[in-house]
Every structure is written in structure tokens, then in C-alpha cells.
Amino acid sequence: MKIIARILITATGLFSLVGCYDAGIKQTIHETGFVYCESGNLDTFNPQISDENSILEAVSAQIYDRLLIIDPVTQKPSPNLASEWQVDKTGTVYTFTLQPNVAFHTTDLFTPTRFLNANDVVFSFERIINPDNSYHNVNSGHYPWFDSINFPQTVTSIEAINPHQVQFTLSSPDNTFLSSLATSYAVILSKEYAQQLAASDDKNLIDSLPVGTGPFKLSQFQKSEMVRLKRHDNYWQGKAKMSQVVFDISSRGTGSLAKLLRQECDVVANPISSQLPIIIENDELTLYSQTATNVAFIAINTENPLLQDQRVRKALNFAIDRSSLINSVYYNSGIEAKSILPPASWAYGNDSSFIRYNLNYAKGLLREAGIEDEIELTMWVPLDNNSYNPSPKKSAEIIQSNFSDIGIKLKLITSDLLNRNELAENNIDLVLTGWNANSSDPDTMLRPLLSCDAKQAGFGVANWCNEEFDFLLDLAKETNQPRYRINLYRQIQNLLSEEMPIIPLAHGVKYQANQSSLHGFTLSPFNTYPFHNIIRIKEEI
């Protein structure tokens, strides 16, 4: 809706998008592709082995495909690499039929000899669930998101029935399984490429020099600066309309807007809310918005002895003035969070008695917990803005001021990435973060963040594990009765409000600003979509 050293494949034509911006290079990109600006870091191109990262999601969506995607209209899993699927009567055996004639990328290292088949799907998921797979421990051996949802225990086997059909067998019925296969994490790799790398003892390159079936393939990468993708001419959905996409990952904050205004960026993802009026007033720019399924929150390190007291956690919650956050950070484009689930979720439960601003009640809870004097807490704050939090630093400063009103001195620690060792050692008490859901199923906003498996996988930054919470989650996953599922998710939300392992803050709006000459973007509340339909329409003079 319009609202107003081998990671570097080739040195030829390599450039930095920072500092001097060569006019000839700029003109070439403008004519044959576009520059997509979003801050962030890339340590891998394979989301299977990474935590949630919006720039990685955007890049990997161009390189890889998934069996299913979430339809942006119906918000349900729909065909992608899998053209259709069947589920047996037990609800535990899923058989997927693959699209024919799907080509993998041809790169400097790899020339495929066949189209995608069931063996590629088996390899992609066997790597995750099978510790004996030769690639399981390559490049960390950790699959944070899959481990956080207990995927290795959910899927008991994956079998290629024939070249065009693959079968997943589950340990028990799982209403969230199809949604899991549609997330940005569930990408399909080339088994043939993996075998070639293994033969040359170069297994580690599988994630840094990626081969997928997506509309674009990796051409150049300069860490913390840029990623250049070139068109995959044999893309199964038809050759992309533009021959290249350049991701500028070097700018933060107002820097991206400056580049957009100078036409050095064609697209800016997640612009800061304060920039929106400038974008809206510029006739050469188009601003798109999409209601997002997300939440900004504070994760409380429940392994800190002080924060193990439920009263202290609730006091922190009641001390936060969410209306100030909405006005000053979101510029009224977001809404106050009453639950980890957003209002758009079919399982949303709003009990505002748990989530409200009440300084007197907060002070009373601290007194009950035996805290009379000023205490000091630390909070990690990310540098990069996101759709769920358009200005983390400003949000942190407001929270810091709120906490001072109840006698809590909050020390802010700002960095690119959270050092999980610091968190584990109780050096960090609070984490300002958030979550973008990968599907409309409530499980995708609850299990990866707060389950016992999430804690074990290092994905749940609250370090919280509650057996009752997990039990209710599993019941909701297994039942097919909608009314029963809704009731279970309401119980789960009430449990979280009582226990308060995280403090919901706000739900943001997903924005994208781009040059008005670009057309064909598909915005979704969930995943980033491929850019193969993007086209630049030149104005006639």
C-alpha cells in the first residue's frame, strides 16, 4: 500500500559504496538493477545456521528458495518449490511433490549437472537434524532457530520416495510444521554442490559461497560494506527483470536517508520513523507500509538472582511509559504491546491489567521484594533499527529515564551483536530486542523465544524455561480444534503476564521507501520476497 579468501568471488569491478561513489558505477547499477540499503552484518549467507537477521533474510531470499512460502494475502503456507503436498490420516506423514526443471546456480566454482530433486531436500534438512551427517558440524554445527523449535525431535525421518517426491515423518501431529517449512530459515541447498566441496575438502564454503535456486546468485561481497547479486538466468519462475541487485549494508540511521535522497540508494528498508515525513513529501520517493507481525520487548535475564524475583520483573514492566515510546520513537506509527502476540494474530489476548504504566505499583512491588535502596542494572541495546523498533537507542534512553523514577539506575551497553557469554555470566541483566514472526501461527512468536528448547539453543535471551509453558505450547501444536487452540494460547499469554520473563513494549509497522521509478515489490507481514519482478519504469519526457 502506497502511503506516501574466497568469499570474494571476483575482484573485477569491486567497489565500496562508502566514501567516493563513482558516477559510472552508479549509472550502470541504475540502468541494470538497483541498490537496496539496510544496515546489518553478514557472517554467512545461509540462514539455517544464523540467528534472526533482517539483512540476511533479504539477501538469502534472493539466493535460495524454500519448499513453501507464506502467501501475503491469505497468510497461509502455499506452494513454492513444492507444487503440492499430502498429509496422511495420522497427521504425521507429509509427502511433497517438487516443481520440475528447477535449476541451481552456475558459479565460478560449480556447474550443476541436473535439476533440483528430492535428494537436495533430504540433504538440506538431514544436515540440520542428523548429527552424523557429514555437513552437520560444518561452520558451527548449530542451527539456532531449528533447535529453538525442537525441529530435530519433531522430524524423525526424511526420505526421497522418487526424484520428484520427498516424505517427512513427524514424531507427532504438528499444526505448525508447514509454517516452519515456509520460514526464511528453511532454505534448500544443492547436494551435488555439497558433494563437490567435500571432494575438494572445502566444505566450509557451502555457506559463504552459496548455491541456491533463487532468482539471483552471489557475485561480490565486501564485509560490512556491500553485497552484489547477479541475475540467475535459468530461474524456474522466469528470468528476473533486472540483472543485478546491490545491497548497501554500510549505513545506519540518517545515513541511509541521505543516500536515498542522493539516489545512491534506490530502496531503504525500515527507515527511521522521524524520516517518514521527509520521504512522504518527496515526489520522487514512494513509501510503502505493511502491518507487521512483530513485537519489541525487553528480555529479562532470569538467571540473575535479583531478577529471579517475579515482583522485580513486574516492577520493571509497570515502570515503562509505553505511550511515550509510541510518541517519541514510533511517531504514532506503532501501537502499545499488551502481549507478545500482536493484535493482528488470531490468538491475541488483551488483558491490559498486566501491561500498564503505574509507578506507585512498581515501587510497591520493589518494596515487597525487599529493595529499598537504588539498584543498578545493565541493558544491551542494538545499533540497528528494525521494523519492531525504529530507534533502539532512543527507546533505551526513555526506558532508562522511566527506571530512574523507581530508583533503578540503568546502564546502557550498545554494540552490534549480543555477546551471549556476557549474558550467561550475568553481566547483562536486560536485552532490548524484538522479533519478526515468520508466519501467522502464534507458535512462531512464542516457541523460538521462550521455550526450554530456545533456552538450550541459546535463542531465548531471557534464559527462561517453564515446563507448564512448554506443555501448553505442545498441546496447542497438536490439536486441530481452533477453539481449543485459541483457549490454550490465551492461557499461555496469561502465564507470560504472570511470570514476566519478557516485557512487551510495542508493535511496529513495516516500512519501505524507494525511488518511485521502481515497481513490483511484494511486501509481507512475514518474510522478504524475491526481487525477480522488480522493474524500473523510466518517465517519458
pLDDT at position 6 is 35
- Cα 74 to Cα 70, 175, 257, distances in angstroms: 8, 17, 33
Q: Which residue type sits at 418?
A: L
Of 142, 60, 183, the C-alpha closest to 459 is 142
225-268: per-residue pLDDT in tens? 999 999 999 999 999 999 999 999 986 666 888 999 999 999 99
Dist. CA 466–CA 109, nearest whole Å:
47
Q: Which three cell numbers stand for residue 524?
A: 509481507
Q: What is the mean pLDDT of residues 207-212?
A: 97
33-84: per-residue pLDDT in tens? 999 998 888 889 999 998 767 889 999 999 999 999 998 888 889 999 999 9
* Kind plus residue range of the DSSP H or E element containing 337: none
3 state SS of 324: helix
Worst-scoring range by mean pLDDT, 177-191, 200-214, 433-447, 492-506?
433-447
Q: Which three cell numbers stand for residue 327?
A: 510518541
267-300: per-residue pLDDT in tens? 998 888 888 999 999 999 999 988 778 999 999 9
- CB 529, CB 513: distance < 8 Å: no
The predicted model scores a pTM of: 0.88
pLDDT at position 39 is 81
Cα 291 → chain centroid: 15
C-alpha torsion 214→218→223→227, nearest 10: -70
Cα 223 → chain centroid: 20
pLDDT band at 12; cut points 50, 70, 90: very low
Other Cβ atoms less than 10 A from the Cβ of 89: the count is: 6
pLDDT band at 118; cut points 50, 70, 90: very high
Q: What is the mean pLDDT of residues 382-401?
A: 91
Task: Please give the mean pLDDT across all residues of the chain.
Answer: 89
15-39: per-residue pLDDT in tens? 344 444 455 566 678 789 999 998 8
Statement: residue 515 has pLDDT above 60: yes
Statement: residue 504 has pLDDT above 80: yes
Q: Is the dihedral of CA 62, 67, 70, 72 positive or negative?
A: positive
121-156: per-residue pLDDT in tens? 999 999 999 999 999 999 988 999 999 999 999 999
Exposed, middle or buried: residue 23 (CB in 10 Å: 0-12, 13-18, 19+)?
Answer: exposed
92-111: per-residue pLDDT in tens? 999 999 999 999 999 999 99
Higher-confidence residue of 475 and 344: namely 475
Where do the domains of the chain lie, and which CATH numbers do they carry?
21-39+215-291+510-541 (3.40.190.10), 63-208 (3.90.76.10), 294-507 (3.10.105.10)
pLDDT band at 433; cut points 50, 70, 90: very high
Q: Which three cell numbers stand for residue 344?
A: 493482528
